[in-house]
Structures are given as structure tokens and as C-alpha cells.
Amino acid sequence: MNIVFNNCLDVKLEGLLNKVKTPEYDDPSYNHLVKADALRIKNHFWDSIEEYLTAIELDKSNKEAHKGLGLAYKQIGCIKSAISAFNNAKKLNPFDKSLYFEAGCCYCIDHKFTNAIKEFKKALKICPDYTEARYNLALAYDLSRQYDLAIQEYNKLISTNPKFIQSYNNLGSLYMKLDSYTRSIKVFKDLLKANPEYARSYLGIGISFDKLGDNVKAVRYYKKYLKLKPKSDNVPYIIERMSELSKDPASNKKPHKKPHLMLVS
């Protein structure tokens, strides 16, 4: 489970070109902002930070410079500085949903899930259809063990954006964590309707049937996973488990708790 970030390089580049072409932005602070954005896009984060700080020093109301500064600080792992920059930007532009989203991501990175949840909720208040914010809200609930709320948000995502695959995967994995294997099977099967080649679904269904003691179906789905992922790190453990089940298909013996047998590609 990973936090979702916004990475639209083409949009950023187009925005930079528009800024350069617009005469009204011909002022010292803005010139440093354009240079800083270009440096950040090229991953020259420290140099971009210097330019953002110069832009802010010249014009403390330069909201885009505060935002860019936060993005640059986040990239180099200076999370507290990033949050501070995003908070300054929010004061100047309180209706920019992305500022609350980015602050929430930073709080998640810092394992401050209560704060992250507040930020994602604010982003969703501005834009209820903000898919990435709702996904990260669900993830923050999940990571903070507020499982009922996480399930609620994952289901909202699935109903409003059925092609957002991560929601199915995380919900199915959460049901497995809660030993709700019948539910996890249903979620993973729904995921396969959206993407029949999603290998993790076959593994999730296989493990779930294994846990329920339905060894014939467990082996069937393990085989489907192996067909799609023959080089996965899980392969030796799945083959071993399939061998155990094949020797005694009627056995209710539970699968070994191997740390390597998990929902990974």
C-alpha cells in the first residue's frame, strides 16, 4: 500500500511555458519562481529551494513559490519544512485542494495519520470527487487501524471510480488482515472484472481459499498467479504450498505463515 502522489510532468512543463509566455509575470519574484520550478522538475531540488526562497523574500505573497518550496522539501525528505511551506501557501490560497492533499501526504510520510486525515478531509470538502485524496484518506484510516472507516472509503472509491485498481487491492488485503476471507475473495474477483491480468488478485483469492480450507480452489488460483508471475519472489513458497495441498486435497491444514507469501508482484 502506497501513498498516491501527483506527478504530471507534462502539465507542469506546459504550465511553465505558459508562465514564460505571459508578459504580466515579468517581475523579479516570478522570474525566480519560474527558474525554481524548472530546477525542481529536473530534480535539482536544493537549487530550486534556493530560488523559491529568493522568490518568497522578494514577494511573501507569492503563493506558487510557497507551494513549490513545499514540493521541493518533500522530495528531499524535509517533511516538517514541507508542511510549513504548504501551510503558508494555504493562508494565501485557502481553496487550492492540492495544498491540503500535499500536506496530508507529508503527514502520512511522518506517520502522523490523525493530521493526515484532517488534511485529506479538507481537500475533499473543496472537491468531493478528488480520487487521490479519498484513496489516501482510506489508506490513512487503514494505517491508523480505523478499519471500518477505511472500508467505507475504499467502497466509496470503488463505487465512484471502478477502474481505480488500488482501491480493490487495498480493500481485499484489509479483509484478509481481518480474516474476512469470503469478503476478500469477492473484492479480488471484482478487481479481476476490472483488470483480468492483475496477478495479485489471483494470489489473494488463492490465499483466501487456502485459509478457508478449500484447497482445490486455492491450488487453482495459485496456478493462475504463477502463470502470470513466473518470476515472482513468492514462487518457491507457492509451489511448496501447492505440493502440500496436492498431497492431501481434503486436508484443512492451514498454510504456513511465511513472511514472503504476501500480496506482492
Q: What is the CATH number of the domain that holds 251?
A: 1.25.40.10
Look at residue 146 and tell me if it is in a domain.
no
Q: Can you give the pLDDT at residue 260?
A: 37
Q: Which domain holds residue 192?
A: 167-265
User: Is residue 123 in some structural domain?
Assistant: no
- Cα dihedral 50/111/162/210 (nearest 10): 140
Confidence of residue 135 (pLDDT cuts 50, 70, 90): very high
Q: Which of 236, 184, 174, 231 lies closest to 210 in space, CA to CA?
A: 184
233 is a domain residue? yes
Q: Which three cell numbers stand for residue 41?
A: 522538475
Whether 210 is in a domain gets the answer: yes
User: Residue 7 above 60 pLDDT?
Assistant: no
Q: Which amino acid is at 161?
A: N
Dist. CA 216–CA 221, nearest whole Å: 9
Residue 209 C-alpha cell reads as: 481459499
Q: What is the pLDDT of residues 25-79, one digit of tens each?
A: 568 999 999 999 999 999 999 999 999 999 999 999 999 999 999 999 999 999 9
Q: Are 136 and 118 in contact (CB under 8 A)?
A: no
- Summarize pLDDT for 201-232 with one digit per residue, the tens: 999 999 999 999 999 999 999 999 999 999 99
Give yes or no for a contact between 16 and 38, defined as CB atoms under 8 angstroms apart. yes
Please name which of 1, 5, 2, 12 lies closest in space to residue 132, comparing C-alpha atoms.
5
Q: Is residue 212 part of a domain?
A: yes
pLDDT tier at 248, thresholds 50, 70, 90: low
> Is residue 14 classed exposed, middle or buried when 0-12, 13-18 and 19+ CB atoms within 10 A define those classes?
exposed
Long-range Cβ pairs for the range 44-47 (8 Å, 24+): 45/72, 45/75, 45/76, 46/76
Q: What are the φ/ψ torsions at residue 85 (nearest 5 degrees)?
A: -65, -45
In a domain, 206, yes or no: yes
Count of the separate structural domains present in the chain: 1
For residue 172, CA distances in Å to 154, 168, 180, 228 come to 10, 6, 9, 19
pLDDT, mean of residues 120-127: 98
